[in-house]
Structure 1
Amino acid sequence: MTMKSLSLLAILSLLALTLPLAIASDPSPLQDFCVGVNTPADGVFVNGKFCKDPKLVSADDFFLAGLQNARAVANAVGSNVTAVNVNNLPGLNTLGISLVRIDYGVNGQNPPHTHPRATEGLIHFQANVGRSPAVAFAALSSQNPGVVTIANTVFGSNPAIDPNVLARAFQLDPKLIMDLQAKF
């Protein structure tokens, strides 16, 4: 091989190793803060929202009233998740974070789930011992963490996953899988 061929091979190898790392990350915030608004007042678009004129920003842009209040729980899993993100707390835009409040009913749970674009840290403030409601807060490392609830995804997919495939994967009877799919 010639020296030119070796140099080209070295450059291509370096690109092959670094390119996937560069593509697989969230964008960095471009400024200290950009209070999100839904109208293009000045036309500056950052992290999926237009920026409010910094001269018009107020403390209210960084405050969400009522988050300290318990939420009613009336569903099959026994929990109520209140999302706090740039859509209801505009000051979070470009900060790369969001939050959820989880209210648990008696024997309630937060079903197994993942956040495809975030890590989650959960803090319980009150234990649920089967007699009283509990509350927890979770901090997420993304402005838009997304959520994928495992049971909904597996048993409620459309089109449905073949019950025989799920029965074999979970080592269950196919009739039980069809019953589970019917619930979703």
Structure 2
Amino acid sequence: MEKKGALLLALLLMASYVAYATDPTQLQDFCVGVNNPVDGVFVNGLFCKNPIQATPDDFLFKGLNIPRNTDNKQGSNVTLVNAANLPGLNTLGIALARIDFAPYGLNPPHTHPRATEVQTVLEGTLYVGFVTSNLPNGKNQLFSAVLYPGDVFIFPQGLIHFQFNIGKTPAVVLVSFSSQNPGVLTIANAVFGPTPPISIDVLTKAFQVDKNVIQYLEAQFSSGNNY
């Protein structure tokens, strides 16, 4: 009995050590270290307001009930509520968003490098899905579903996902994130529209297509022309 108790204690201590030794989750893509603090203007999050000076307005965001303009190439509009426009969220590790879709509007394939996303459909019918990272068999699996009002779907952190309004009427979803600054990386924009552009030799080899195809895609997502 004593041996079992000692073994359990050792396992708990090991688990605690591993958890304690883990780096904290980042809230930005990178944080370049500086030797002189005077040169540093931003840390992993936001500087904190004196709590004595806090007001109810620091914890209030208005207008998420207002439909957004979806007159764009993709037919969708994301209204993000995070620590940048709702200061009271700072350090709490959560954020949310409203996404409006025109009929057949799309929130194109993208990832959130710092957050899991939970989506609740308020209006409309959506086809949604996410793709796994490389599985042991070397393949990627698509998890997809058709959602109706009241349905909830989860997109795990960092995985490519999308939402597509398959209905003839507008759609609205409410989204929650497990980070105050989830970040977003839209795949097509990142691959075909960065500044400076990725070498065309890299892209033609990666996608196994002719250079003309790559050039056409780059023209669609170049600066000022992307979604």
Do Structure 1 and Structure 2 share a fold, with TM-score over 0.5?
A: yes
Answering whether residue 80 of structure 2 is matched by residue 83 of structure 1, we say yes
In structure 2, what is the Cα distance between the partners aligned to 1:69 and 1:24?
A: 36
Q: 2:46 aligns with which of 48, 61, 66?
A: 48
Match of 2:59 in 1: 62
Change (3 A) 1:160 1:57: same
In structure 2, what is the Cα distance between the partners aligned to 1:46 and 1:183?
A: 34
Change (3 A) 1:146 1:56: closer
Instruction: State the Cα RMSD in Å.
Output: 2.8
User: Structure 1 residues 125-134 or 115-124, which shifts more?
Assistant: 125-134
Match of 1:152 in 2: 189
Shift of 1:145: 1.2
Richer in strand (by share): 2
Q: Which amino acid aligns with 2:55?
A: V
In structure 1, what is the Cα distance between the partners aligned to 2:22 and 2:172?
A: 38
In structure 2, what is the Cα distance between the partners aligned to 1:151 and 1:129?
A: 21
Q: Which amino acid aligns with 1:69?
A: I
Written as runs of structure 1 = structure 2, the 5 A alignment for 1:156-175 is 156-175=193-212
Q: Secondary structure at the match of 2:213?
A: helix
Change (3 A) 1:52 1:109: farther
Number of matched pairs:
151
Q: Secondary structure at the match of 1:110?
A: strand
Match of 1:176 in 2: 213
Unpaired runs of 5+ residues, structure 2, are 1-13, 28-42, 125-164, 222-227
Change (3 A) 1:132 1:55: same
Q: 1:74 aligns with which of 41, 63, 71?
A: 71
Shift of 1:26: 4.3
Shift of 1:170: 2.2
Which aligned segments of 4 or more residues in structure 1 are displaced greater than 3 angstroms? none
Structure number with larger C-alpha Rg: 1
Change (3 A) 1:105 1:52: farther
Q: Secondary structure at the match of 1:181?
A: helix
Q: Which has the higher contact order (CA 8 A, sep 6+)?
A: 2
Shift of 1:52: 4.2
Q: Secondary structure at the match of 2:61?
A: coil
Q: Which amino acid aligns with 1:106?
A: P
Unpaired runs of 5+ residues, structure 1, are 1-13, 28-44
Q: Can you list the C-alpha shifts for 1:100-156, whole angstroms capped at 9, x where unaligned?
A: 111011211111111111111122221244421111121111111111111110001
Change (3 A) 1:173 1:54: same
Match of 1:36 in 2: none
Change (3 A) 1:179 1:46: closer
User: Structure 1 residues 142-151 or 118-127, which shifts more?
Assistant: 118-127
Q: Which amino acid aligns with 2:66?
A: N
Match of 1:137 in 2: 174
- Contact 1:46–1:94 (Cα < 8 Å) also in 2: no
Q: Can you list the C-alpha shifts for 1:77-113, whole angstroms capped at 9, x where unaligned?
A: 1111111011222221221001111101121111111
